[in-house]
Structure 1
Amino acid sequence: MYKVKHLQLGRKAALKLLRSDRQNREDQLRFDREARLAASLTNPHSVTIYDYGRSEEGEAYCVMEYLSGLTLQEVVARSGFQSIGRVLFVLRQVCEALGEAHSLDLVHRDIKPQNIMLSLDPSIGDWAVVFDYGLAKPLSPDKGTYQTREVIWAGTPMYMAPERFRSPSVMDPRSDIYSVGCVAYYLLAGRPPFAECDPESLFALIISEQPIGLGIHRGEDVPESVRRTVFKCMAKNAADRYASIGELADAIDELRVEFPWTSSDAAAWWKQHGDA
């Protein structure tokens, strides 16, 4: 990924090139699919794609919106666990991005703190943008879109839903809801839901164990309404989660009445922890 200046648009952009060791036909078509799917999204909380194609040398490229700010992983690294109001405020925006994607029958499949960028908007406060749709897949294959065959799981294990391990080729938007719950846990606890360990042990934890209570990590009680929302997202059985990202958004809206987060709150955080 490179920071560049788009000559026609006259503004900064991010240039993504397909790695030189991934220039086979399948990788090139997968890269094209990522760019095409991401370009179909228009929600302001999803990264904007400006252009994609092949260079004169045959290299696959994608030009997209340059995102300044901090990933949610960097936010936690700088100030530890986050206030409940802020977590709800940010994740509500993530729901907006995923709501559009799901309405287009597109599942992200790699929602994690590293793939959500946060910046400060002077009027709104915290502004979240979801990016890296490299693992996104349509729920219903389109004959005009190249489909890669998937026989093993793909994604970031720590934030993957249990069913993604059991049936990696099955697409279900509720898998994204599980991942949003994991991100919520990470922001509220200041650490991932499960301890880092070898892949086999991690898979076993995700499939069968519950994460440690949020209050233990924070050293303070977390309201039952908040805990219930997070752990409903992270239910082992997809049928026990919110039925849709819209339903989760509604639940977050109800909680935000009790746990507000204002633009002034955001500005204060960025003044203390943001880059000068």
Structure 2
Amino acid sequence: MPEPAFMTDTSEYATVPPTASRRVRLGPSDQYELIEPIGEGAMGMVWRARDTLLDIDVAIKVLRPELDTPWATQRLLAEARAAARVRHRGTVHIYATGITEESRGYIVMELLQGPSLEQVIDERGRLPVIEAVRLLLPIVSATGAAHLAGVVHRDIKPTNILLAQNEGRGPVRPKLLDFGVAKLMHGRALFEVEPGTVLGTPTYMSPEQALGYDDVDGRCDVWALCAVLYEMVYGAPPFEASSYTDLVHAILTRDPQPLDIDRALWAVIERGLAKEAEARWVDAHALGRALASWLLAAGYEHDVSHAAVRHSSMFPPESIPRERSSGWRIVDELDATVPSVRDHIPIAG
């Protein structure tokens, strides 16, 4: 199998050394003043900037000069359109888009501070299971909001998850970044690519993505979310190889090594990593309900951002799990194929 050309992007909030530069202004009436570079990816440089009209700091992603083409501009603006469709606390807020005097596209978005999930995994290795689920749940919820908005992310990975915090104070707010290769669920692509182009990051690709299928849906994001959760708990992704050919072979033919964790949680992850999309959770909301139900059964009412799991947007009001007098929190939202958490996690009554 030939090595394909991948289309992905690294986290726009990856740390890079600041460099001195003259202040440049962008936007109508020179509204935005670039202050310093704070990150870079394959498509663009991200700057800390000042919105001089609103008197707030923002982040601005500007297309790289060497990518000054109509196609690259189309792709950058498609990223903004995809992200703007998703209204959720776990996504980055898009404020505006525009074109510079040099005809380079840019996106104005909220400024975030904090490490990426990749940095946390690199520093700490395996995370405790409860911490991992509480941390990932807001991202699963944000992905579910994207699916409801008709958007498939296609590049969920630790690099694209930022653990934002206000100057080191308050709860962590996980944020899903980089909709640069997103597509509409039931419609045309947000930007044109050659048929069969592999979109995403190989390590976190579902089988259908790795094979270059064009008609992927939200279940490829379900795979990626479960691959990320697997890595958080185990310290390494479920499939690794030294070449793309070997990696695709592993994704298509091998089962992930079972994790030595609670059986009910492993069943949730294992279902998300099913080879056939039809066998996975139907979308991120279904996955989120399973994870939230497991977390409730373990006795935890809030995710890492302090949002109430019981009243999460993943639960319609009529399906919120209720406590019973026996002291067990019954998990009705888990699919019948998943072993009951009641058999594994005692909750004090």
TM-score normalised over the length of structure 1: 0.86
Match of 1:248 in 2: 287
Report if aligned partners of 1:26, 1:148 keep a CA contact under 8 Å in 2: no
Please give the alpha-carbon distance, in whole angstroms, between the structure 2 residues aligned to 1:263 and 1:256: 9
Letter in structure 2 aligned against 1:200: T
Please give the alpha-carbon distance, in whole angstroms, between the structure 1 residues aligned to 2:71 and 2:263: 47
Please give the alpha-carbon distance, in whole angstroms, between the structure 2 residues aligned to 1:38 and 1:89: 23
Task: Give the deviation of 1:263 after TM superposition.
Answer: 7.9
- Structure 2 residue 298 is matched with structure 1 residue 259: yes
Change (3 A) 1:25 1:86: same
What percent identity do the matched residue pairs reach?
A: 27
Report if aligned partners of 2:174, 2:305 keep a CA contact under 8 Å in 1: no
- Structure 2 residue 119 is matched with structure 1 residue 80: no
How many residues were matched structurally?
260
Please give the alpha-carbon distance, in whole angstroms, between the structure 2 residues aligned to 1:59 and 1:107: 26
Q: 2:197 aligns with which of 152, 157, 166?
A: 152
Gaps in structure 1 of 5+ consecutive residues: 216-221, 268-276
Please give the alpha-carbon distance, in whole angstroms, between the structure 1 residues aligned to 2:123 and 2:135: 17
Q: Kindly report which structure 2 residues correspond to 1:19-58, keeping only aligned pairs within 5 A, or say none.
A: 19-58=64-103
Please give the alpha-carbon distance, in whole angstroms, between the structure 2 residues aligned to 1:261 and 1:79: 22
Letter in structure 2 aligned against 1:208: T
Letter in structure 1 aligned against 2:210: F
- Structure 2 residue 175 is matched with structure 1 residue 136: no
Q: Output one character per residue of 1:225-264: Cα deviation in whole Å (capped at 9) or x when no partner.
A: 1111111111111111111211111111111024356889
Please give the alpha-carbon distance, in whole angstroms, between the structure 2 residues aligned to 1:265 and 1:175: 25
Report if aligned partners of 1:164, 1:170 keep a CA contact under 8 Å in 2: no
Match of 2:246 in 1: 201
SS of the equivalent of 2:216 reads coil
Letter in structure 2 aligned against 1:171: V
Match of 1:223 in 2: 262
Q: Output one character per residue of 1:21-78: Cα deviation in whole Å (capped at 9) or x when no partner.
A: 2222222211111111212222110111111110122111111112211111111122
Letter in structure 2 aligned against 1:59: R
Q: 2:271 aligns with which of 210, 224, 232?
A: 232
Q: 2:173 aligns with which of 124, 127, 150?
A: 127
Change (3 A) 1:197 1:52: same
SS of the equivalent of 1:70 reads coil
Letter in structure 2 aligned against 1:25: P
TM-score normalised over the length of structure 2: 0.69
Task: Please identify, of 104-113 and 82-91, the stretch whose mean Cα deviation from structure 2 is larger.
Answer: 82-91
Match of 2:55 in 1: 10
Report if aligned partners of 1:174, 1:238 keep a CA contact under 8 Å in 2: yes
CA-based RMSD: 2.5
Q: 2:258 aligns with which of 192, 213, 228?
A: 213
Task: Give the deviation of 1:105 after TM superposition.
Answer: 1.0
Q: 1:192 aligns with which of 234, 237, 241?
A: 237
Please give the alpha-carbon distance, in whole angstroms, between the structure 1 residues aligned to 2:228 and 2:94: 24
Task: Give the deviation of 1:191 after TM superposition.
Answer: 1.5
Gaps in structure 2 of 5+ consecutive residues: 1-45, 307-349
Task: Give the deviation of 1:183 after TM superposition.
Answer: 0.5
Letter in structure 2 aligned against 1:133: F
Q: Output one character per residue of 1:160-204: Cα deviation in whole Å (capped at 9) or x when no partner.
A: 000112243112110000000000001001112223411111111
Task: Please identify, of 201-210 and 188-197, the stretch whose mean Cα deviation from structure 2 is larger.
Answer: 188-197
Change (3 A) 1:243 1:107: same
Report if aligned partners of 2:63, 2:105 keep a CA contact under 8 Å in 1: yes
Task: Give the deviation of 1:120 after TM superposition.
Answer: 4.3
SS of the equivalent of 1:230 reads helix
Change (3 A) 1:163 1:142: closer
